[in-house]
Amino acid sequence: MGRTKGFNRDEVLDKAVQIFWRKGFADTSLHDLEKATGVNKSGLYSEFKDKDDLFSECVSRYAETNGVLEILAKEPLGRQNIEDFLLSGERSAQAKGCFIANTFREISIVPQKAKSKIGRHIETVKEAILKNVEAAEPSKSSALLVDLILTFNTGVALQLNAGEIKGLKKLVSEFLDSILK
């Protein structure tokens, strides 16, 4: 008879996300993960094949729980949802910014499985933003506007990862005023 797992998988993932977010994939050690999660090496390896697998599962967990798809699905669709999406990294109860945007810094060394999950999440977010852009009835190409919004969001997320942005609400509002005419 096997031993009963003494930890909650989602709680371990949530704690591991915070370490990977703060230290990055390359600089996060197994010791860091053990310390943050309270689960020893054998426990982690009984649940996850290796650090790559744990990181990939952290990407999935973050994509499922970061709340951006819920923000972008609120009715009525349109500009307000986009604004709330762009401000969501500042309101996070966890680290500020975006774990996935932070991961872009080391995308060349991130496990392929995690890269694929990141790509799928970004495509899902793009589709949700597109619905909101189209609801705002812009005079410019909706596809172009989605790319501009995602690029702006990545920049904001990276800045938030480094610290607070003064006047972010005004900056977001002026950005949207300039592109959604």
CATH code assigned at 35:
1.10.10.60
Q: How far apart are CA 30 and CA 33, in angstroms?
A: 5
**Is the pLDDT score of 93 beyond 90?**
no
Residue 4 domain-assigned (yes or no): no
Asked if 73 and 132 sit in the same domain, the reply is yes
Confidence of residue 14 (pLDDT cuts 50, 70, 90): very high
Asked if 18 and 81 sit in the same domain, the reply is no
Q: Rounded mean pLDDT of 21-40?
A: 96
Q: How far apart are CA 12 and CA 14, in angstroms?
A: 5
The mean-pLDDT minimum among 53-57, 88-92, 137-141 falls in 88-92
Q: How far apart are CA 54 and CA 167, in angstroms?
A: 36
List Cβ<8 Å contacts ≥24 apart for 39-43: 39/6, 39/7, 39/12, 43/5, 43/6, 43/7
Q: Name the domain boundary from 22, 40, 61.
A: 61
Single out the residue of 100, 91, 83 nearest to residue 164, CA to CA: 91
How much is the pLDDT for 5? 65
Taking every pair of Cα atoms in the chain, the longest distance, rounded to a whole number of angstroms, is 65
Share above pLDDT 90 across residues of the chain, in percent, rounded to a whole number: 86
How much is the pLDDT for 1? 44
Amino acid at 92: S
Asked if 94 and 153 sit in the same domain, the reply is yes
Asked if 86 and 172 sit in the same domain, the reply is yes
Asked if 93 and 143 sit in the same domain, the reply is yes
Amino acid at 69: L
Asked if 89 and 25 sit in the same domain, the reply is no
In the chain, how many domains are there? 2
Asked if 51 and 110 sit in the same domain, the reply is no
Residue 2 domain-assigned (yes or no): no
Full domain range(s) for residue 103: 68-179
**Is the pLDDT score of 4 beyond 60?**
no
Q: Rounded mean pLDDT of 131-148?
A: 96
Q: How far apart are CA 55 and CA 113, in angstroms?
A: 9
The mean-pLDDT minimum among 29-33, 86-90, 138-142, 163-167 falls in 163-167
Q: How far apart are CA 88 and CA 168, in angstroms?
A: 11
Q: Rounded mean pLDDT of 19-38?
A: 96
Confidence of residue 162 (pLDDT cuts 50, 70, 90): confident
Asked if 75 and 164 sit in the same domain, the reply is yes
**Is the pLDDT score of 96 beyond 90?**
no
The rounded mean pLDDT for the chain is 94
